[in-house]
Amino acid sequence: MHPRQIADVSKITVAEILARKGRERVPVLTAYDYPMARLLDEAGVPILLVGDSLGMVVLGYPDTTHVTLAEMVHHTRAVARAKPNALWGADLPYRTYDTPAAAVATARELIAAGAEYVKAEGGQEILPQVQALQAEGIPFMAHIGMLPQHVLEEGGKYRIKGRDEAGRQRLLDDARALEAAGAFACVLELVTPPVAAEVTRETRTMLTIGIGSGPDCDGQVLVTPDLVGAFPWFTPRFVTPRAQTGAQIRTAVGEWVRSLQ
């Protein structure tokens, strides 16, 4: 039986997602185009994200800082055509939310393209932006810990966060402030597992979504090509691919080419 025949096919909302906190783990995956969004939705993934990770795994950029708003809008429109039952949203790309007014303008473009929420990186330093988005009624997902849009500022290295007391306290303070500002969820990227677990316990009205941050968050997010082996040239250490579609594509195409000889 098809997964969507046995699952609740009603449109998933922010309220429904928040009701899962403390009750069940929430899976989150990235989607960048129409067919992948349909496949993930049919598999029952409740939250999808048009992540700016598309810069690397789709567009071939070295990091997310090269992704433009026009590119994000393009991919958001593609996912919108799949009409997912999942709750789905999109990243605000690098330097498009430096001010509250810029954050609102960028978010409006992505919402107009079909996104149901937006995500941005940062803690207390972006609270005015978060508050401005809330004033507009735009659901917001936060992102703290390792911030990919700031990787160049960290010397090009993805560094684990929360290893010392100052780092732990900063993460807790950021999470509490973002929750108070109205974020419905917060990605914790490369946060030490004990601190990620503490943030999860400390928050009541905000879902924590881990990536490389241990098993104790409310949910887990992965870049879909990492999960299915579709980007075989690099796999993060914390990911165990569940398929090797890149290798399968090479094999299938190679067999077809040889069949024509």
24 is catalytic: no
Q: What global pTM score does this model have? A: 0.94
Distance from C-alpha of 78 to C-alpha of 85, rounded to nearest angstrom:
15
Q: Is residue 239 part of a domain?
A: no
Higher pLDDT, 247 or 158: 247
**pLDDT in the model for residue 156:** 77
Residue 4 pLDDT greater than 80, yes or no: no
Contact 147, 189 (CB under 8 A): yes
Q: Is residue 150 part of a domain?
A: yes
Q: Which of 72, 63, 48, 77 is nearest to 227 (CA)?
A: 48
- CATH classification of the domain holding 13: 3.20.20.60
Q: Is residue 31 part of a domain?
A: yes
Distance from C-alpha of 45 to C-alpha of 176, rounded to nearest angstrom:
27
Active-site hit among 154, 189, 202, 255: 189
Q: Is residue 59 part of a domain?
A: yes
Q: Is residue 141 part of a domain?
A: yes
* Size of the chain, expressed as the number of residues it contains: 261
Phi, psi of 118 (to 5 degrees): -125, 155
Report the domain count for the chain.
1
For residue 119, the SS3 value is strand
Q: Which of 148, 149, 100, 106 is nearest to 126 (CA)?
A: 100
Q: Is residue 217 part of a domain?
A: yes
pLDDT single digits (tens) 175-229: 999 999 999 999 999 999 999 999 999 999 999 999 999 999 999 999 999 999 9
